[in-house]
Structure 1
Amino acid sequence: MKKTIEIFTIGFTQKTAQEFFENLTESKVKCVIDTRVNNVSQLAGFAKKKDLEYFLKVICNIKYIHILDLAPTKELLDDYKKKRITWDAYEQKFNNLISEREIEKKVSPQLLDGGCLLCSEAKPHYCHRRLVAEYLNKQWGNIKVCHL
Structure 2
Amino acid sequence: MTLPLHTIGYEGSSIEDFLATLSIAGIDLVIDVRDVPLSRKKGFSKNALRQQLAGYGIDYQHLKALGDPKEGRIAARERRFDDFRQIYGEHLRTDEAQNAVDAAVTMANAQRACLLCFERDHHECHRLAVAIEMAKRADFRLIHIGVKRGVAPIRGENAKHGDFAFVG
SS at match of 1:6: strand
Q: Determine the structure 1 residue equivalent to 2:65.
A: 69
Q: Is the 8 A contact 2:31 2:104 kept in 1?
A: no
Please list every run of 5 or more consecutive structure 2 residues that lacks an aligned counterpart in the other structure: 146-168
TM-aligned CA distance change 1:110 to 1:74, over 3 Å: same
TM-aligned CA distance change 1:81 to 1:17, over 3 Å: same
Alpha-carbon displacement from aligned partner over 1:23-57 (angstroms, at most 9, x marks no partner): 1111111110111112123x132111111000000
Within 2, Cα distance between the matches of 1:130 and 1:69? Answer: 15
Q: Is the 8 A contact 2:72 2:85 kept in 1?
A: no
The aligned length equals: 141
What is the TM-score normalised by the length of structure 2? 0.76
What is the TM-score normalised by the length of structure 1? 0.85
Within 2, Cα distance between the matches of 1:147 and 1:92? Answer: 22
SS at match of 2:124: coil
Within 2, Cα distance between the matches of 1:9 and 1:105? Answer: 14
SS at match of 1:23: helix
SS at match of 1:136: helix
More helix by share: 1
